[in-house]
Structure 1
Amino acid sequence: MDFLPRQTPKDGSGQFFKVENYLLNHYGRYGLRERYTRVILKAMCYYPVSVHWGGWIEQPLPDQMAEIIDTIMENHSGDMNMLFTSKNALLQFGWDCLNISIYNPDEEMCILFERIAASEGLFWRKSE
């Protein structure tokens, strides 16, 4: 799940790293924290989850998830892993990039995450 609809060219002819750095340091202005929080909370509505944040948290409360995301973004560091226990899939969120990675999603999850991404003005794409 990404803020860009496709991967940038490998030749580096654009200004991806400058734009990424700017957005990472001015995320509040563009509502990125809120978008990421809503994506993760929406996903929690469909599947049971365990979150790794200093230890495993089974079925975290929405307030806990919002606090984790706030902490990561305000400290400009950290990673959070969310295991979808019934699907054997993993969501990874970290401050240092402007995407949410989801590993091992089945077709049902791909369709759902594509819709969730679109609802937040983000793009769902499989890695190349």
Structure 2
Amino acid sequence: MEQTVSKIEELLEKPCYVIDFLPEQVKPSSRGQFFDVECYLLNSDKHFLLKDKFVNIIIKLMCYYHVSIQLDDWIDRPSLQILEDAINTIMNNHSGWLNILLPDETVLVVFEWDNLNLTVYNPSKEIQALMQKIACSEGLFWRKSDMI
């Protein structure tokens, strides 16, 4: 367990990409209404549409790679129902996150209730290419994160 926590901390320092509903990050100087949109999407029934897209992305990823998820403890190769229930609980509680680890690839995918994206840490070129296709299949965008 301690080794896995150490691995997660290490991965959080690696380059990251996002699967987002927007094609690029909104600039601080933007005169748009991003925060109104974000609040609406997270607090209206629209959040179910986003939740379904994120679940679908993770399910598609599970078709290609070995997956473990972190709830209270790590669950190796979780059932699809456990995965969906975990994300439903996070969304309904408006609190929490889910770490999705691809242990054979040393890749971490993070789902957080208050983000309108999935964050992917340390993806290889192969995984980047696949994730871009998967994001597109759900009407979302794949891009390098602007986080520093």
SS at match of 2:144: coil
Q: 1:102 and 2:120 equivalent?
A: yes
- Would the alpha carbon gap of residues 61 and 29 (structure 1) be closer, same or farther in structure 2, given more than 3 Å must change? closer
Separation in 1, partners of 2:97, 2:55: 14
Name the TM-score, length of structure 1 as normaliser: 0.95
Let me know the Cα RMSD of the aligned residues.
1.2
SS at match of 1:70: helix
Q: Aligned to 2:42, which of 13, 17, 24?
A: 24
Moved over 3 A (4+): 27-30
Separation in 2, partners of 1:27, 1:86: 36
- Would the alpha carbon gap of residues 61 and 30 (structure 1) be closer, same or farther in structure 2, given more than 3 Å must change? closer
Offset of residue 29 of structure 1: 6.5
Offset of residue 33 of structure 1: 1.4
Q: 1:89 and 2:107 equivalent?
A: yes
SS at match of 2:143: coil
CA contact (8 A) 1:72 1:95 kept: yes
Q: How many residues align?
A: 128
Which consecutive unaligned segments of at least 5 residues does structure 1 have?
none
Q: Aligned to 1:44, which of 51, 56, 62?
A: 62
Separation in 1, partners of 2:111, 2:125: 21
Offset of residue 49 of structure 1: 1.1
Equivalent residue, structure 1, for 2:81? 63
